[in-house]
């Protein structure tokens, strides 16, 4: 009889795979790419150190205790270490498996558990997000937020509460997205758009800009009903069962829409949706469908770059600092496409931000659960942006927009931060830059 697998501190459900761990040859090439190693210079807060800790736990030589867990909680999951690794270690799969193990097997302190539950429960339900939007609107329009900030209330409150306040988006009028938007001129493709959870409620203007650009480029755009959160935030936080449930719901919604591609304008969502095949690999009813679905998913910049432009680009005279979101550049390998879209706008000048591979500190819910580290990384990014003297900053992920806005405001340099697609939309619609402020 074959011996039962020994999983050390892990349970038997997909522990970090030994064959992936053993691909690490300890060369250390990934160290300079890692934000936490860059900040602290500590081996156990580097990719190599974390891989070593996973292996110790798998071999039963380390316990899943507070100290061990802290090294994984501090990891941003930005996967900046992956393109830097010459041995092709799939750190993304390793951290995802480790986080799921932690969530199942480690008893977090009650306050931490409650805080995470609050965030998850809000994100997973669009109707709760809408309620949150209304409360936020009242909080901002009544002047309460400004008054509390002016008297410095948040300095006396726990860091997580202060972080939540500093990252709150300023609520804009909601823009409705039609279930089907016809293509302008001859139809080139029928595509689906993911509306997202945070995106749908707080960034509906970005969704509206995305639909306008796609339609102008000859796409019929379908926003299938029944879609909710794609589950990305849950995957990144190790809440595997909830992520799988939301992934199935997303697949069901888009399959019915009969589209040729699924276009996503939030890099964190796109990177997870491209991995649904892996997330649902054990589900006989969904595994194959998930693989097919993932193959259809494209970031909006990636999708548009495959098309010869049809809509006229009108000049937009601006110096733009472009920030690569980690889930776009590292997880999806999409770097050239958003730059190319921006460079084809007449009058636009692109400025590169130094230390591009290093995360801004947003990383899903990282800036809400690890506010101190996130703030340090945000301040570091702002320090690189300020000297560029850009008129505007562009990026491809809602979390990064909020994180950069908050960091630049702290640095006393509150230039607008927008989604890349908003600049393209403004150029196609002939809007001035001021319209994005
Ligand atoms: S995912 Fe990011 S923070 Fe985590 S080890 Fe890799 S580079 Fe470092
Ligand atoms: S670069 Fe790759 S092989 Fe080298 S230490 Fe980092 S993870 Fe291991």
- Calpha distance 305→122 (Å, rounded): 34
Determine which residue's CA is closest to atom 2 belonging to ligand 2: 85
For 247-376, strand residue ranges (E) read: 261-264, 297-299, 318-322, 348-352
Question: Is the pLDDT assigned to residue 308 strictly greater than 70?
Answer: yes
Q: Which residues sit with their C-beta closer than 6 Å to ligand 1? A: 33-36, 47, 50, 75-81, 91
CA of 43 to the centre of ligand 2 (A): 12
For residue 104, the CA-to-ligand 1 centroid distance in Å is 22
Task: Confirm if 49 and 43 have CB atoms less than 8 A apart.
Answer: yes
Return the ligand 1 atom nearest residue 82 CA.
6
- pLDDT of 2 higher than 60: no
Q: Under a CB-based contact definition with an 8 Å cutoff, are residues 124 and 229 in contact?
A: yes
Q: Whose CA is nearest to atom 2 of ligand 1?
A: 78
Question: Which of 75, 235, 330 is the best mutation target for the ligand 1 pocket, counting ligand atoms within 8 Å of the beta carbon and taking the most?
Answer: 75
Q: Choose between 263 and 169: higher pLDDT.
A: 263
pLDDT in tens, 158-168: 777 777 777 77
18 alpha carbon – ligand 1 mean position (Å): 19
Which one of the ligands is nearest to 95 CA?
1
Using 50, 70 and 90 to split pLDDT, how confident is the model at 5?
Answer: low
pLDDT of residue 283: 98
Higher pLDDT, 112 or 335: 335
What band does 106 get if pLDDT is binned at 50, 70 and 90?
very high
Distance 213 CA to ligand 2 centre (A): 41
**pLDDT at residue 16 is higher than 80:** yes
Length of the chain measured in residues: 437
Lookup: tokens for 76: 């941003």
Note the pTM of the prediction, 2 decimals.
Answer: 0.92
* pLDDT on residue 266: 97
Q: How far is the CA of 232 from the centre of ligand 1 (A)?
A: 17
| pLDDT tens sequence across 390-411 | 999 999 999 999 999 999 999 9
Indicate the top mutation candidate among 24, 37, 81 to test ligand 2's pocket, ranked by most ligand atoms within 8 A of CB: 24
Please tell me the distance from the alpha carbon of residue 429 to that of residue 314, in angstroms, as a whole number. Answer: 8
From the centroid of its chain, how far is CA 390?
Answer: 23
> Cα(34) to centroid of ligand 1, in Å?
5
**pLDDT at residue 127 above 80?**
no
**Position 78 pLDDT exceeds 50:** yes
Residue 138 has pLDDT above 90, yes or no: no
Q: Strand order of the sheet with strand 180-181?
A: 180-181, 219-222, 189-193, 261-264, 297-299
If pLDDT is split at 50, 70 and 90, which confidence band does 146 have? confident
Q: Is 28 in the pocket of ligand 2 (CB under 6 A)?
A: yes
Please tell me if the CB atom of residue 25 comes closer than 6 angstroms to any atom of ligand 2: yes
Q: What are phi and psi of 245, to 5 degrees?
A: -60, -45
As given in the structure block, the two tokens for residue 123 are: 């994100």
Provide CB contacts within 8 A for 262, sequence distance 6+. 191, 192, 193, 194, 254, 273, 293, 296, 297, 298
Say yes or no: CB of residue 114 within 6 Å of ligand 2.
no
Q: Give the tens place of pLDDT for each residue, 236-271.
A: 889 999 999 999 999 999 999 999 999 999 999 999
Of 110-119, 180-189, 260-269, 329-338, where does mean pLDDT reach its minimum? 110-119
Smallest CA separation from ligand 2 atom 3, residue = 24
> Helix (H, G, I), strand (E, B), or coil: what is residue 132?
helix
CA 95, chain centre distance (Å): 16
């Amino acid at each position: 009889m074959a011996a039962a697998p020994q999983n050390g501190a892990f349970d038997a459900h997909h522990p970090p795979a030994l064959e992936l761990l053993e691909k690490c040859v300890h060369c250390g090439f990934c160290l300079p790419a890692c934000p936490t190693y860059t900040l602290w210079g500590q081996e156990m807060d580097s990719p190599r150190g974390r891989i070593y800790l996973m292996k110790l736990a798998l071999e039963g030589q380390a316990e899943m205790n507070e100290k061990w867990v802290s090294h994984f909680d501090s990891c941003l999951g930005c996967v900046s270490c992956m393109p830097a690794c010459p041995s092709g270690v799939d750190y993304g799969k390793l951290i995802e498996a480790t986080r799921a193990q932690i969530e199942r097997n480690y008893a977090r302190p009650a306050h931490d558990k409650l805080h995470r539950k609050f965030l998850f429960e809000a994100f997973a339900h669009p109707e709760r997000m809408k309620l949150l939007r209304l409360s936020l609107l009242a909080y901002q329009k009544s002047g309460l937020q400004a008054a509390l900030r002016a008297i410095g209330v948040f300095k006396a409150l726990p860091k997580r509460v202060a972080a939540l306040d500093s990252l709150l988006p300023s609520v804009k009028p909601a823009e409705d997205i039609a279930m089907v938007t016809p293509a302008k001129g001859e139809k080139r493709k029928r595509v689906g758009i993911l509306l997202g959870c945070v995106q749908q409620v707080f960034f509906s203007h970005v969704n509206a800009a995305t639909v306008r650009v796609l339609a102008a480029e000859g796409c019929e755009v379908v926003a299938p009903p029944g879609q909710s959160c794609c589950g990305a935030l849950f995957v990144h936080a190790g809440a595997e069962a909830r992520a799988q449930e939301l992934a199935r719901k997303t697949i069901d919604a888009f399959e019915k829409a009969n589209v040729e591609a699924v276009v996503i304008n939030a890099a964190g969502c796109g990177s997870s949706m491209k991995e649904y095949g892996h997330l649902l690999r054990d589900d006989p009813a969904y595994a194959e469908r998930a693989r097919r679905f993932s193959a259809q998913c494209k970031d909006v910049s990636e999708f548009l770059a495959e098309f010869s432009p049809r809509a006229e680009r009108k000049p937009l005279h601006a110096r733009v600092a472009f920030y690569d979101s980690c889930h776009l550049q590292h997880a999806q390998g999409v770097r050239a496409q958003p730059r190319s879209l921006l460079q084809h706008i007449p009058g636009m000048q692109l400025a590169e931000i130094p230390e591009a591979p290093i995360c801004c500190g947003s990383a899903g819910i990282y800036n809400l659960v690890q506010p101190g580290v996130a703030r340090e990384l945000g301040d570091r990014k702002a320090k690189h942006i300020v000297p560029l003297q850009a008129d505007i900053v562009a990026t491809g992920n809602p979390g990064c927009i909020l994180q950069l806005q908050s960091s630049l405001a702290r640095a006393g340099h509150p230039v607008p931060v927008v989604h890349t697609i908003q600049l393209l939309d403004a150029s196609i619609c002939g809007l001035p830059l001021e319209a994005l402020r």
